[in-house]
Amino acid sequence: MRILIKNGTVIDTHPSVTVSPATDVLIDGDRIEAVGQGLPEDGAEVIDATGRLVLPGFVDSHRHTWQASHRAIVADADIQGYFRTVLGELAPSLTPADVHAGNLAGARECLDAGVTTLLDWTQVTQTPEHADALVAALRESGIRAVLGYCPQDFAAEPYRVRDTHMRGDGLLTMAIAALGPEIAGEERALQEWRLARDLDLPVTAHLGGSSPEQAHAALMFLHDNGLLDRPTTYIHAIHYSDEDFKLIAGTGGSVSVSPVDELTLGIGYPVTGRAAAAGATVSLSADTVTCGPGDMFSLMRAAFAMERGRGNLAFTTRDVLRMATLGGAETVGLGAVTGSLTPGKQADLILLRTDTPGMSGTRDPIGAIVLNADTSAVETVLVAGRFRKRGGRLL
């Protein structure tokens, strides 16, 4: 199937964030074939994008997707209250059907808001049936996802999940969701990173969130044991020093910032600018809708305002839009697959309306996306060239 998105304002992110008015995007099957003006129709289905912003789909680099079924349940809690209620009380009681419902709802929420790719960081893999239910929900939704698999054992089950589910159309890939040395201790961390090496998978872990001393000591433990050869995403990373961030960047690490939840849960002030200044790849994530928003517009606004509020006026709307797209794709290991409109990449893209009350009169498209847009502007969503939302409605 060929689709020609015609005469839109195209916003791309590679090699830099640019705006191209009256531009077409040609899709052939699941890939972007060409971007330019006056592209031939050649029998393609034509989508008139006049008055629309066309850009890569958003990428959420860390979301506990199953928690969509418990939205705002700990809206006023701190991090200990979140642990106690969501992970201590709710998670152990959930059946495979429960986690399937939560994951499907959460993935559809993402698509509705223009998030075409997410890393699903899941702690509810207590049985093989739970893991299978989580995967089934992601596949049913049609989203592109990285299953952040948190192992309950280190024997056969992680291998079964990889060999059973990581196949086919490439929409689903896998990472090891590690508890890490700060949460679960050094012995388990060794097992987690070694498992990732054996399975040839990246690692995503909540790191740097305890205290400056513990954050640095845990990072040195990983470094001294030669574990940083695995691509690693550092979630939150609140308490790292600038030198720690240089080590993270130098070993190919990436940072996933959850700008709203880090403040509302009392974890600390987001490190968006400091991590980027050290050369690390930085991305944005919703974390959990039990105490925060689930759309990328809210996250971009929060990250932009907080960084500017620190006095970093060199931080721009272009910077934060790139973090929400290509930065997220690079963080989850899919930078060669999605995150920009580069020909040859997967056709994961969204169309935003500019005729809604909140978007009319747009002069700077990038500024409007970051500062003014919300989910009501998301008219069309494609993942791998397939419509997942069209005419403002999920399909």
Q: What is the CATH number of domain 2-57+341-394?
A: 2.30.40.10
Q: Is the pLDDT of residue 372 over 80?
A: yes
- Residue whose structure tokens are 């990449």: 345
Chain segment 3-16, per-residue pLDDT in tens: 999 999 999 999 99
24 in Cβ contact with 37 (< 8 Å): yes
Is residue 47 within 8 A of residue 380, CB to CB? The reply is: yes
Q: List the beta bridge partners of residue 172.
A: 145
Structure tokens at 26: 């040609």
**Which sign does the torsion angle of CA 65, 67, 70, 75 carry?**
negative
- Each residue of 103-121: pLDDT tens digit? 999 999 999 999 999 999 9
* Phi, psi of 74, rounded to the nearest 5 degrees: -125, 50
Q: How many other CB atoms sit within 10 Å of the CB of residue 102?
A: 25
Instruction: Give residue-wise pLDDT tens across range 30-39.
Output: 999 999 999 9
Asked if pLDDT for residue 244 goes beyond 90, the answer is yes
Of 4-8, 99-103, 207-211, 274-278, give the lowest mean pLDDT range.
Answer: 207-211
pLDDT (tens digit per residue) in 135-191: 999 999 999 999 999 999 999 999 999 999 997 779 999 999 999 999 999 999 999
Task: Please report the pLDDT score of residue 181 as a whole number.
Answer: 97
Place of tokens 């899941």: 122
Look at residue 168 in the predicted model and tell me its pLDDT.
Answer: 75
Confidence (pLDDT) at 167: 78
Assign 324 a pLDDT band (cuts: 50, 70, 90). very high
Cα–Cα distance for residue pair 208/256, rounded to 1 Å: 11
Percent of the chain at pLDDT exceeding 70: 100
Assign 248 a pLDDT band (cuts: 50, 70, 90).
Answer: very high
Structure confidence at residue 27 as a pLDDT band (50, 70, 90): very high
Identical fold, 2-57+341-394 and 58-331: no
| pLDDT confidence band for 289 (50 / 70 / 90) | very high
Burial of residue 391 (number of CB atoms within 10 Å: 0-12, 13-18, 19+) = exposed
Q: What is the pLDDT of residue 263?
A: 96
pLDDT at 163: 94
Q: Which CATH number fits domain 58-331: 3.40.30.10, 3.40.50.2300, 1.10.4160.10, 3.20.20.140?
A: 3.20.20.140
pLDDT value, residue 210: 86
- Give residue limits of the domains in the chain: 2-57+341-394, 58-331
Residue-level pLDDT at 287: 98
Rounded CA gap, 140 and 87, in Å? 25
Judging by beta carbons within 10 Å of its beta carbon (0-12, 13-18, 19+), is residue 42 exposed, middle or buried? exposed
